[in-house]
Amino acid sequence: MKKSYAVIPLALLVSCTTMEDFHAMNPDERAESVCSATNGYRQRKRALTDLNNEIADKENLLATGYRVYEACQIVTVNVPGKTVSCEGLGGKELKACQKSNTSATTENRRVCTQTPVPIDYNYESSVLRDLRMSRQNQVEMHELQTDNCLSRARTLSADKAYLLYKGNLEP
């Protein structure tokens, strides 16, 4: 759910920025707009978000000390009918009363059982350590690529920067 909210402002920003806006920006602002609109930038940010979510999940797992496995099956269940006495009623009240009477039926329902299973703390801790190292590497790579993009984009004219921005391309 968080992801969809993060994309909305970016989509609005991309769709509403005009050539005139680019002419009004200083070189640093243009560079930021161009580089943050590229496909590579968005993919790197999405990968970092996914990795942060994985790390948070692993930290929560280590905090609880167990996983919960769920086993589900579909079972047929008999649903009893409902009979209401409609004696002494007439008109609309009688019709409403008659509609509330139902016959017995059967339904298929999904029934699940949850089983907590202890984790191997040492193994999960090593996975968390590897995830954190991977995040650090991705952050460094993202910063380096973004800095390179910004330095190239600062030298672009407003017209060239706008064309790259609209095409989600790096300079």
pLDDT for res 12: 42
- Residue 7, pLDDT > 90, answer no
- C-beta of residue 31 within 8 angstroms of C-beta of residue 148: no
Tokens of 126: 């090593």
Mean pLDDT of 12-36: 83
Mean pLDDT of 46-64: 97
**CA nearest to 158, candidates 16, 31, 35:** 31
pLDDT band at 17 (very low <50, low <70, confident <90, very high): confident
Neighbours of 167 (CB within 10 A): 12
List of residues 6+ apart from 29 with CB closer than 8 A: none
pLDDT for res 106: 86
Residues forming beta bridges with residue 106, ordered by sequence position: 78
Mean pLDDT of 34-46: 94
pLDDT band at 1 (very low <50, low <70, confident <90, very high): very low
C-alpha neighbours within 13 Å on the C-beta side of residue 123? 5
Mean pLDDT of 51-68: 96
pLDDT for res 160: 94
Q: Phi first, then psi: give them for residue 3, nearest 5 degrees.
A: -60, -45
Mean pLDDT of 132-144: 97
Mapped onto helix, strand or coil, the DSSP state of residue 112 is strand
